[in-house]
């Protein structure tokens, strides 16, 4: 006690030293990486190299490692395979040879092969890991299981890991899954549910290797670091279009069994290109380092994708493909595949930032070059008086303005970020991106490289090395969550179903393709620029429909009938509606149009939105014939269909839009809210004599029309103009115009489409006026005109 100050200092020093030891012990942890399918092609080409890169980056830091290559191969064969793969590994150029040799030797000693098949094998692996950790006096930090195996094997492996090979308390588990993640929305949902029974969402890392490509991984950081310059540019007001492209020169030879099941849309567009699209189109989070925030914003972008129609895509197939399938899968000589090896798809976003901007997604095999990029092309509203010889790249507003995330290959041969000099000088992190040197004679997108600020990575890394590092560090934003996966499949599955029986355009492959696959777009439709040439080999399916076939005019139930192929029929009906509208506006100053719900009118809405620029929308009032008793924003709402496919694409005064008041006082179709009476009063006040200029109806397979069903207690007669009804299918409650009101119209058009309507079409042609049994039979305007519009399948079967 003679020197209390010294004792105090000694105590503090001991505490600091002890705390340092405890912190060091806390930081040291052991990570076991188990590569399942360790002897497969993916493992040989990419995954062992990625694991070696992880070890190079992390060796000597806070963790020790062990690497377990596992497969069904015999132990002797597996050991020989892995020894050969490990011997072939090399270090990046910036690692000194002596250091590389030392680390490679360590990695080889830490890597081993084991046969892994049964539950007992997994139990043994777990015990070996625990023993290794104990021998080293370490704590277990976590285990990474990389599934480089086909999806059909996932369930058994997942069950064994969950029951017999999970790490103990305090250690994490990360399970890495490779695509394909299903074949459509249903199969993806089933696989997700199955895996969700074994693993928590935060434990699953679904790999889309495109998210590890350096140019793709730079999209969000680039947008973040250049917020000030991009804030005024990154929207529909300035962006002309976005192109997201992956072209390949190779064909599918040797992989036709996989390709026959998936095709180019499932293989490339549904995953790689859609992921890139969301990174370009998503709202930028305030903090892009927050994985949770990034994933939430990506999900919102998925949900803003507008539904696709058959007309949104063009398909192709290289000429030799069917022969390759016949040879590899022992198919008969008569077999011709419908699987597309080329696809171009036109995508739109339904939000304020991107409304009206076309996103073009395109990929194909046996094309003229190997290249991938995302290109944002900006509108150019300048006109330069001087000859283009005097245009200066960083000053002229007349040169193209674009930002390109160049994913790789092509003329450049490496990843890059390109920004037109007449836009702005971008900011990129100098430690990882450098300016490209001059490349005289090199032209990209029709311009010399000198027109761009061009940057490439300081050190190129393959995608799997990047993603394996992100798995180790727990960066979930570089992977596909269950929600995002299902949102993507929900977007693509309807198109895939609609294209299942389409015959793709044949192309010879390579440079011989010429302009055969060029396509153009307008509105929501996309089509090949050149007409289909004579097929190079005979294609399957029915004979092509005669393009010059005349619209058939006849009579049905003593009223005019117009029948044609679906596209011709819709075009004819749209023309007739526009002609009626123009006449009504000329005579009365306004056009009152009442539209039905359901799927049949959707192509009509799209036709009116994209092909009828002379339509007098400013003087048109839009009414609903019927509505489901759901909120107007509900996907099942007829008004929501109208909004999605027509209203958002035209300029109609908002006060001319009249949705049915099904949602009042936070209730749906409550009698006491008098929604039907309210709508009837609005019609009486605005529509002269309550006589619509045109009412568009459909016909159900049970003979119902509007929401007037067989044996309906109201709406088939009487004085009421608008009624509440009951449907035999969900949602049960409906609101509908009554037959007496419909029959006051100046013109009624009934649209009937599809083979499923053939039976009711024949039946209704034979019945008289029996609205109680067949409500459609009660449609007969008092002083107006009734016209039937039927496609050939509904009319002729």
Contact, 408 vs 463, CB < 8 A? no
**DSSP assignment of 200-244, as one string?**
-GGGEEEE-GGGGSHHHHTHHHHHHHTHHHHTTTSSTTTEEEEEE
Two structure tokens written together for 658: 């009249």
In 10 A of CB 537, how many CB atoms? 12
For the chain, the straight-line distance linking the first and the last C-alpha, in angstroms and rounded, comes to 108
Active-site option among 272, 297, 621, 704: 272
By the 8 A CB rule, do 236 and 348 touch? no
**Spatial separation of the C-alpha atoms in residues 761 and 549, rounded to whole Å:** 22
Helix 566-588 and helix 602-611, axial crossing angle in degrees, nearest 10: 60
Say how many CA atoms lie within 13 Å of 566 toward its Cβ.
13
The two tokens of residue 524 are 């929501």
| The two structure tokens encoding residue 508 | 């010879």
Quote the DSSP letter at residue 748: E
**In 497-514, which positions are buried (b, 16+ CB within 10 angstroms) versus exposed (e)?**
eebeeebbbbbebeeebe
Catalytic residue at 272?
Answer: yes
Q: Are 398 and 382 in contact (CB under 8 A)?
A: yes
Output the DSSP codes for 262-287: HHHIIIIIIIIIHHHHHHHHSPPPS-
Residues 322 and 333 sit within 8 Å (Cβ to Cβ):
no
Q: How far is CA 394 from CA 390, 399, 401, 444, 587, in A?
A: 12, 9, 10, 16, 56
Quick one: which H or E segment has residue 101? helix 97-110
Helix, strand, coil fractions of the chain, as percent rounded to 5: 40, 20, 40
Rounded Cα distance, 640 and 617, in Å: 19
How many residues are given for the chain?
Answer: 797
Site of tokens 């304020």: 352
Question: Residues 527, 520: contact at Cβ < 8 Å?
Answer: yes
345 in helix, strand or coil? Answer: strand
Distance CA 121, CA 758 (A): 60
What lies within 8 Å, CB to CB, of 54 at 6+ separation is 33, 65, 465, 468, 469, 472
* Backbone torsions φ then ψ of 749, nearest 5 degrees: -110, 130
Q: What SS3 state is found at 501?
A: coil
Q: Concatenate the DSSP letters of all residues of 108-147 into one string.
A: HHHEEEEE--SHHHHHHHHHHHHHHHHHTT--EEEEEEEE
Distance CA 439, CA 684 (A): 73
DSSP one-letter string for 550-580: PPEEEEETTEEEEEE-HHHHHHHHHHHHHHH
- C-alpha distances (whole Å) from 747 to each of 571, 581, 744 are 18, 11, 9
> β-strands 29-36, 63-71: how paired?
parallel
Query: In whole angstroms, how far apart are CA 564 and each of 572, 601, 749?
Result: 9, 16, 15
Q: What are phi and psi of 176, to 5 degrees?
A: -105, 125
Q: Which residues are catalytic?
A: 272
């Amino acid at each position: 006690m003679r020197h209390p100050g010294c004792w105090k200092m000694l105590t503090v020093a001991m505490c600091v030293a002890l705390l340092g030891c405890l912190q060091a012990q806390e930081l040291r942890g052991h990570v076991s990486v188990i590569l399942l399918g360790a002897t497969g092609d993916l493992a040989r080409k990419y995954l062992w190299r990625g694991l070696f890169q992880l070890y190079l980056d992390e060796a000597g830091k806070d963790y020790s490692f062990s690497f377990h290559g596992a497969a069904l191969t015999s132990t002797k064969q597996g050991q020989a395979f892995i020894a050969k793969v490990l011997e072939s590994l090399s270090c990046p150029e910036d690692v000194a040879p002596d250091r590389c040799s030392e680390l490679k030797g360590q990695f080889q000693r830490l890597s081993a092969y084991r046969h892994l098949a049964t539950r007992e094998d997994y139990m043994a692996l777990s015990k070996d890991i625990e023993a290794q950790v104990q021998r080293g006096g370490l704590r277990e930090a976590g285990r990474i299981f990389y599934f480089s195996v086909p999806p059909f094997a996932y369930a058994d492996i997942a069950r064994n890991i969950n029951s017999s090979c999970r790490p103990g308390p305090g250690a994490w588990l990360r399970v890495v899954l490779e695509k394909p993640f299903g074949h459509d929305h249903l199969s993806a949902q089933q696989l997700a549910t199955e895996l969700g029974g074994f693993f928590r969402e935060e434990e699953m890392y679904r790999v889309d290797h495109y998210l590890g490509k350096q140019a793709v991984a730079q999209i969000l950081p680039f947008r973040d670091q250049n917020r000030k310059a991009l804030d005024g540019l990154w929207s529909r007001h300035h962006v002309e279009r976005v192109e997201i492209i992956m072209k390949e020169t190779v064909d599918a030879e040797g992989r036709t069994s996989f390709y026959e099941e998936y095709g180019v849309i499932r293989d490339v567009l549904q995953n790689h290109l859609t992921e890139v699209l969301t990174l370009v189109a998503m709202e930028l989070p305030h903090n892009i380092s927050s994985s949770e925030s990034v994933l939430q914003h990506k999900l919102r972008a998925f949900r803003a994708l507008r539904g696709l129609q058959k007309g949104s895509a063009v398909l192709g197939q290289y000429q030799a493909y069917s022969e390759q399938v016949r040879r590899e899968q022992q198919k008969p000589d008569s077999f011709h595949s419908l699987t597309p090896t080329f696809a171009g798809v036109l995508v739109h976003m339904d939000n304020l930032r991107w409304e009206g901007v076309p996103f073009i997604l395109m990929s194909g095999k046996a094309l003229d070059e190997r290249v991938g990029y995302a290109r944002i092309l900006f509108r150019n509203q300048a006109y330069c008086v001087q000859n283009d010889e005097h245009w200066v790249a960083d000053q002229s507003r007349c040169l193209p303005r674009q930002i390109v995330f160049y994913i790789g290959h092509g003329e450049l041969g490496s990843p890059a970020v390109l920004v037109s000099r007449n836009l702005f000088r971008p900011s990129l992190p100098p430690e990882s991106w450098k300016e490209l040197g001059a490349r005289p004679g090199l032209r990209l997108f029709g311009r010399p490289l000198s027109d761009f600020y061009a940057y490439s990575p300081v050190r190129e890394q393959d995608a799997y090395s990047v993603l394996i590092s992100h798995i180790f560090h727990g960066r979930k934003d570089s992977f596909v969550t269950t929600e995002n996966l299902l949102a993507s499949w929900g977007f693509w599955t309807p198109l895939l179903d609609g294209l299942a029986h389409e015959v793709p355009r044949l192309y010879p492959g390579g440079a011989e393709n010429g302009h055969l696959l060029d396509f153009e777009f307008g509105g929501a439709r996309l089509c090949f620029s050149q007409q289909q040439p004579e097929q190079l080999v005979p294609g399957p399916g029915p004979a092509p429909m005669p393009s010059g076939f005349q619209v058939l005019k006849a009579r049905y139930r003593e009223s005019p009938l117009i029948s044609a192929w679906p596209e011709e029929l819709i075009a004819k009906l749209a023309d007739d509606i526009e002609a009626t509208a123009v006449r009504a506006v000329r005579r009365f100053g306004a056009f009152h149009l009442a539209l039905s719900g359901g799927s049949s009118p959707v192509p009509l809405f799209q036709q009116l939105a994209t092909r009828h620029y002379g339509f007098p929308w400013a003087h048109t009032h839009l009414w609903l014939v019927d509505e489901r008793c759901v909120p107007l924003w509900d996907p099942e709402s007829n008004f929501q269909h109208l909004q999605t496919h027509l209203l958002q694409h035209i300029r109609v005064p908002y006060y001319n839009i009249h949705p049915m008041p099904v949602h009042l006082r936070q209730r749906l179709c409550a009698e006491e809210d008098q929604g039907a009476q309210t709508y009837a009063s609005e019609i009486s006040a605005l529509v002269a004599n309550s006589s619509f200029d045109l009412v568009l109806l459909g016909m159900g397979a049970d003979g119902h029309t509007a929401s007037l069903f067989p044996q309906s207690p109201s709406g088939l007669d009487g004085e009421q103009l608008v009624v509440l009804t009951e449907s035999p299918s969900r949602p049960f409650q409906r609101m509908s115009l009554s037959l007496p009101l419909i029959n006051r119209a100046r013109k009624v058009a009934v649209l009937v489409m599809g083979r499923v309507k053939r039976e009711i079409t024949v039946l209704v042609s034979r019945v008289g006026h029996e609205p109680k049994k067949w409500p459609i039979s009660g449609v007969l305007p008092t002083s107006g005109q009734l016209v039937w519009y039927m496609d050939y399948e509904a009319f002729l079967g």
